[in-house]
Every structure is written in structure tokens, then in C-alpha cells.
Amino acid sequence: MAYFQPHYHVKISSVIYIEVRHEYLDDIYNDITKNYGDIEDYLCQACHVEQNRLQNLKDLLLK
């Protein structure tokens, strides 16, 4: 099943706006939590994000 089917809106300034349907996000989130437990484990295991980089991202987002 293809969950990510964005609608692209492109501005001249090279900024891309992506619109995703809420149902797709719910399906993806449910699959991730079913297979990996949580988003953090998904990022580490499936996306090969190193733990220290994940911590750096958390720190940036929580500032």
C-alpha cells in the first residue's frame, strides 16, 4: 500500500510545500509502532540514525 502520496505545491523561491492526508499519517504511524515500538526505535533501526544524532535532533526541536 502506498501511504505517502503527496500533493506538491512549488513556489518560485524553491520552497516545496507538501500536503499529506491525515489518514496516511495515521497508517504510517500505526505500522511504525507495530513493527518498531516507537518512532525513536524506527529512526535508529530502519533509518540507521545514530543515537547521538537523534539526541541532537531532539535537543534542537525542544529548544
Q: What is the mean pLDDT of residues 39-62?
A: 92
Q: Which residues pair with 8 in a beta bridge?
A: 18
Task: Say whether pTM exceeds 0.85.
Answer: no
Q: What sign does the dihedral 59-61-62-63 (CA atoms) show? A: positive
Alpha helices in 1-63 (DSSP H): 22-36, 39-45, 51-61
Per residue in 19-50, pLDDT tens?
A: 778 888 899 999 999 999 999 999 999 999 99
